[in-house]
Amino acid sequence: MLTKVEWEELRAKLDKQLKPEVKKRRIKAIKINSAYHWQPPLYIEVGKKVGPLEPDAPPELIIAIYESSAFMVVTPKHGYDEGLPHFFAKEDVQQVVEFED
């Protein structure tokens, strides 16, 4: 799991790359009921492996979850070491759990 400093550095990087403001809300988990028929309801939590986040993809370790115009789920291959995060529409998110600082 990321430290608060690492979390903020990654948030600032995504904010700069993606332009819409990335909120400073520290999200621990989200519950998704996706409009995509291939994807079952998911509970995505930081520090856990979850999946598939894409069709036929293996489970991925969740590094961080951010909120902007959509929810962004960061994994090692999506938004952290390479590529862009997974995006989930706000209307698909049924529940948000924040870290207790």
Q: Check: CB of residue 22 under 8 Å from CB of residue 10.
A: no
Read off the pTM. 0.88
Coarse DSSP helix, strand, coil percentages of the chain, rounded to the nearest 5 percent: 20, 35, 50
Torsion over CA of 89, 8, 15 and 80, rounded to 10 degrees? -70
- What pLDDT digit, counting tens, does each position of 32-89 carry? 987 766 678 899 999 999 988 888 889 999 999 999 999 999 999 999 998 999 999 9
Instruction: Name 44's bridge partners.
Output: 30
Q: Check: CB of residue 39 under 8 Å from CB of residue 31.
A: no
